[in-house]
A = this chain, B = another copy of it.
Amino acid sequence: MSADVAPAGALELLGVVAYGELAAFDRLAEDARLAPELADRVEMTTMAAVQYGHFRTAADRIVALGGDVLAAMEPFRRPFDDFHALTRPKNWHQGLLGVYIGDGLASDVYREVSDLADEATRELVHRVLSDEAFDDFVVGRVRDAIGADPDIAGPLALWGRRLVGEAMSQAQRVLAERPALAGLLTGAPDGSLAEVSRIMSRLMENHTARMARLGLSA
């Protein structure tokens, strides 16, 4: 497949990535304000800047495919904005968990599509993935916090369920309404909801493993 021909759904996929990263930037910039220490704030700010780089990469790719960045993002504003409005963290640890879970889910989705997309989009996806190296920071901070105060483990586990539940709910709504995008994600032209469900199951398995890494049930 030529790098300059957009497959069905590619612009939609890039629109999801672009707006998702813009929304992630915004969330991380807001989370940075919750940081108890300047060092943590610098770390979160760095992560926000990395998301901006992802946004820019996706936006450049949309332009290269002859698309319009704002138009490509527009259909996905509502689901991401709803997700973030429904999962606004009330404290630093909720924010950290949100970053970890959100980044993890996003990486998994990128991985799912990377084998199916055209070569240039695949390269872009791998570049984005290689930046997602902040997990150790987040895992360390959350484990330390639970070690210092085991009572927060229960509420944080509930918070994790809520985050992933809202994310899945928004994703399913988007994919039900966008067969071309579902087709690209599933590798099947019809993007059957059964195949979408199988992908969701894989995402949930990875999510469970991530929560276990924190010592939390999913």
Contacts and interface: CB of A to CB of B under 8 A. Distances in A.
A70 B55 CA distance: 28
A14 interface: no
Nearest to A19: B38
B29 A42 contact: no
A39 interface: yes
Nearest to A49: B52
Instruction: Work out how many copies of this chain go into the complex.
Output: 2
A74 B41 CA distance: 13
A161 B39 CA distance: 34
15 contacts: A22-B41, A25-B49, A26-B29, A29-B29, A29-B30, A29-B48, A38-B73, A38-B74, A42-B70, A45-B55, A46-B52, A48-B48, A49-B49, A49-B52, A49-B56
Contact of A45 (B22, B39, B70): B22
Contacts of A74: 38
A32 interface: yes
The 3 closest A-B pairs by CB, nearest first: A29-B29, A49-B52, A38-B70
Contacts of A52: 45-46, 48-49, 52
Interface of A: 22, 25-26, 29-30, 32-33, 38-39, 41-42, 45-46, 48-49, 52-53, 55-56, 69-70, 73-74, 77
A32 B38 contact: no
Given A29-B29, A42-B69, 7 more contacts: A22-B42, A25-B49, A26-B33, A38-B70, A45-B52, A48-B52, A49-B52
Contacts of A48: 25, 29, 48, 52
A192 to B, nearest CB: 32
Contacts of A45: 22, 25-26, 52, 55
A122 to B, nearest CB: 25
A212 to B, nearest CB: 32
